[in-house]
Structure 1
Amino acid sequence: MLRKCKSEPLLEYLPEELNGNYISHPQPISIFHKLHRISTLSISICIFLYIAIGSISFHFLSHQIKGKKTNGFLDSIYFCIVTITTVGYGDLVPNSVATKLLSCVFIFSGMAIIGLLGIRGADYLIEKQEMLLGQAMILQEEVINPQQFVNEFKTRIVWYKLVREIIFLLVLIVVGIIFLNRVEKMDFVDAFYCVCSTISTLGYGDERFSTKAGRVFAIFWILISTLCLARLFLNVVEVRIEKRRKELVTWIVTKRLWLIS
């Protein structure tokens, strides 16, 4: 490990293959990696506890919830999922003071968890920016060939992640349409309409999962598809960051070479 001054990011020398030759050069590591941050595991635990506590609570109060029901505990889990994802079809509605107050608690709890996901995404983007600063600081002392340095940015990986999320989301959409058509007996237009309103968390409520098998499917599909859409937006931002990153590196290298010459 190397640190040349207190304000400089920690650097670690790692072997990397570049232009057919193995070289060792410093790779920036985020200075925030030892600071407190919201981890993916913490968010996953929060979501699990939210669903578990909510399901048990609403199961005991299921007789105070009106709407089309299929299975007591299954409906409770389904109700928690459509609440935390803010879909809210309206097929299951609190019908007493106790359930309404409990729903308010879980609505704000779900919003808090979604907020944690947003904070985690912000942490990730901040770390990407801090890594860029580290690259620029290394650049001032060690880069000779500008093209060599620019090629180190793995923009193809970022684009690959974006394409992967798009494909995964399209697969989820197709699976959702087929399921709604075959199990919920919707025509393809209504199924596509239901899928779009669900993934976007609009949840108009005119088309929804109403069978027992449909709600089992919805518990997993709604949660995965809404999170996939959020990851897609994050990857779009990351692609933009990588583009600006590459432009900045090219500008710094060009300016440095101009000053040297």
Structure 2
Amino acid sequence: MVTMITVGYGDLVPQSALSKVLACAFVFLGMALVGLVLSHGADYLVEKQQALLIRALQMRKRFQPSDVMKEIESGKVRYKCVVVALILFVLIISGIVFLIFVEKLDALDALYCVCVTMTSLGYGDFSFSTEGGRAFAVLWILMSTICLGQFFLYLAELNTESSQNALIKWVLTRRVTIVDLEAADMDNDGVVE
């Protein structure tokens, strides 16, 4: 797991030819998975913006622009961000507590180890070294790095929300032209989906 997410503490290194080949495969597999997750994150933000625009245009036919904006500004993104932040906080605290009681680190070193692990920095000066610690680390590292990535995705989404709302206000208050409809026909089949 440590190899796949590129933490690399330096306390465990491959010795045999087979373990070196497997390490190479795992690190590239891990990086490919990170790339895939980032790609899905970008797709998610783009699809969310497209869906928001389509929803606003559809609602425009039935409601006044101010009513549409009230419906769109629901606070879901803020809620998701808070929930993931709370989960992240629990993961940080659980990692610190585990490192203090099982790995026998002091509180500052435990916090430091948690931070360099979750961010996949992994200097190698502290690591999960006991058998129980390594068993815990397999799941904890996976959950905490994914949760941290999810938190940053939601922060990015929260950051773009105000510009999306400004775009929707602009779309709702201007008249649709033939040029707009032609530009919305992405596959040039004469139909706007």
TM-score by length of 2: 0.84
Contact 2:9 2:122 in 1 (8 A): yes
> Which residue of 135, 142, 157 corresponds with 2:55?
135
Aligned equivalent of 1:201: 120
Contact 2:11 2:124 in 1 (8 A): yes
User: Secondary structure of the equivalent of 2:13?
Assistant: strand
After superposition, the C-alpha distances for 1:72-100 in whole angstroms (9 at most, x for unaligned) are xxxxxxxxx10111111111101133322
Matched, 1:230 2:166: no
> Which residue of 103, 116, 121 corresponds with 2:36?
116
How far apart are residue 186 of structure 1 and its match? Answer: 0.4
Distance 1:155 1:84, change over 3 A: farther
Aligned equivalent of 1:38: none
Matched, 1:190 2:109: yes
| One-letter identity of the residue aligned with 1:120 | H
Aligned equivalent of 1:88: 8
Moved >4 Å (runs of 4+): none
Larger relative strand fraction: 1
2:130 & 2:74 partners in 1: Cα distance? 45
TM-score by length of 1: 0.63
For CA contacts below 8 A with separation 6 or more, give which structure has more relative contact order: 2
> How do 1:147-186 residues align onto structure 2 when only pairs under 5 Å count?
147-186=66-105
User: Secondary structure of the equivalent of 1:225?
Assistant: helix
Contact 1:143 1:149 in 2 (8 A): no
1:249 & 1:129 partners in 2: Cα distance? 10
Aligned equivalent of 1:49: none
How far apart are residue 224 of structure 1 and its match? Answer: 0.2
2:151 & 2:75 partners in 1: Cα distance? 16
User: What is the aligned residue count?
Assistant: 175
Distance 1:157 1:133, change over 3 A: closer
Query: Which consecutive unaligned segments of at least 5 residues does structure 2 have?
Result: 176-193
| One-letter identity of the residue aligned with 2:149 | A
Contact 2:128 2:134 in 1 (8 A): yes
How far apart are residue 106 of structure 1 and its match? Answer: 1.6
| One-letter identity of the residue aligned with 1:193 | Y
Task: Give the alignment's Cα RMSD to 1 decimal.
Answer: 1.6
> What is the identity percentage for the equivalent residue pairs of Structure 1 and Structure 2?
49
Contact 1:159 1:239 in 2 (8 A): yes
Contact 1:150 1:250 in 2 (8 A): yes
How far apart are residue 165 of structure 1 and its match? Answer: 1.1
1:173 & 1:144 partners in 2: Cα distance? 45
How far apart are residue 236 of structure 1 and its match? Answer: 0.9
> How do 1:6-25 residues align onto structure 2 when only pairs under 5 Å count?
none
> How do 1:29-108 residues align onto structure 2 when only pairs under 5 Å count?
81-108=1-28
Q: Which has the larger radius of gyration?
A: 1
2:55 & 2:167 partners in 1: Cα distance? 10
